[in-house]
Amino acid sequence: MLSRVLLTPTTVRLVHSLICSSSRSFMDLKVLLSSLNDFASLSLAESWDNVGLLVEPSPPHTVNTLFLTNDLTEEVMEEALQKKSDLILSYHPPIFRPLTHITWKTWKERLVIQALENRVGIYSPHTAYDAAPQGVNSWLAKGLGVCTSRPIHPSKAANYPTGGTHRVEFSVNSTQHLDKVISAVKEIANISITSFSTRTDDEEQTRISLNCSQEALLQVMAFLSQNRQFYQKTEILLLEKPPLPQTGMGRLCTLDEPASLATMIERIKRHLKLAHVRLALGVGRTLESPVRVVALCAGSGSTVLQGVEADLYLTGEMSHHDVLDAASQGINVILCEHSNTERGFLSDLRDMLGAHLENKINIILSERDRDPLHVI
């Protein structure tokens, strides 16, 4: 006897979803963490931040579903568990200050307990994603209109380009002295030596250039101070780590075409999907005043935006007195609440991580994550 099965559109979508889900592979947690760091290095995070893997289930741990949220609350944790998540990527670190107990008394302690009991890892990138070229602040700038942007506080490379923190240069007149200097300097660890010929006042000299660490610099200076007859024209340079292109905190954006403040407000509300924002008009400004330069910082922007020359500051929150200071200088300020300037980035992040991870795992967005403040 033949039987018929009626497939509704909903059933077809469900079957397709199950097929796609089952076709994805697992990733070992350590391999996934390495890939996440390749996407945006944790070295970009601010020194005060608590980023990386915050909760780790006992190894080995494999990840099939990566769950994205801006804030990991108890309600969001419940959602992540219902959706069988193996790793939660929480933009804000749920553990920031050290925990001295892991009990059921506070909500953050309960998050840790639930994560470990259910073998769910917790990872937070926070300010590493703020600084990244493809990160939160660059996403926030997309809502302004066509513009060019640069970081307000550029990030620097993790390493010095020359393998040292300082450069010492000096000139040596005679070959005899040169041999003694080179021989002595080679005995010092963490130092590299280059030399080249120069002519000063019709006199041939050899210029010595030493790249050295802070510790080696002290030894070099001790040697030179005891052998002043060997050298002249000394220079000591402090080397800096080179800035990373399009990487750093905040963004200073210059619009290709100026727009009225009223127009900018509507663009920002549309980009962030908000019905309301808070506005402080700069002294002497109106809603029709032109805006060409916007300084922005996702989240809390007081420190990053302080002292920056712009027509408009855009951030989630600023202190009362920092808003007054900006307005007194004729700078308009738009505040959108802290996480409202960050959360929309997660949709872009899902797509970027999907491509970066070659769709090897499921990546889902929280549907319960939201800013705790509402205008009523």
Phi-psi region of 183 (alpha: psi -120 to 50; beta: other; left: phi over 0): alpha
Cα–Cα distance, 53 to 67 (Å, whole number): 14
Of 51, 59, 79, 50, whose CA–CA distance to 67 is shortest?
79
Nearest residue to 354 via CA among 65, 136, 93: 65
The rounded distance, in Å, linking the Cα atoms of 307 and 141 is 19
**Whole-angstrom distance, CA of residue 113 vs CA of residue 104:** 8
Q: For residue 215, say whether it is annotated as part of any ligand binding site.
A: no
Residues in the chain: 376
Residue 130 is labelled as binding a ligand: yes
């080696």: which residue's tokens? 216
Q: Residue 109 annotated as binding?
A: no
Distances (CA, A) of 308 to 154, 219, 262, 266: 14, 42, 22, 23
Angle at 348 between CA 151 and CA 120, to 5 degrees: 105
Whole-number Å distance between alpha carbons of 172 and 362: 65
Query: Is 46 marked within a binding site?
Result: no
Annotated binding site: 92, 130, 338, 342
Annotated binding site for a divalent metal cation: 92, 130, 338, 342
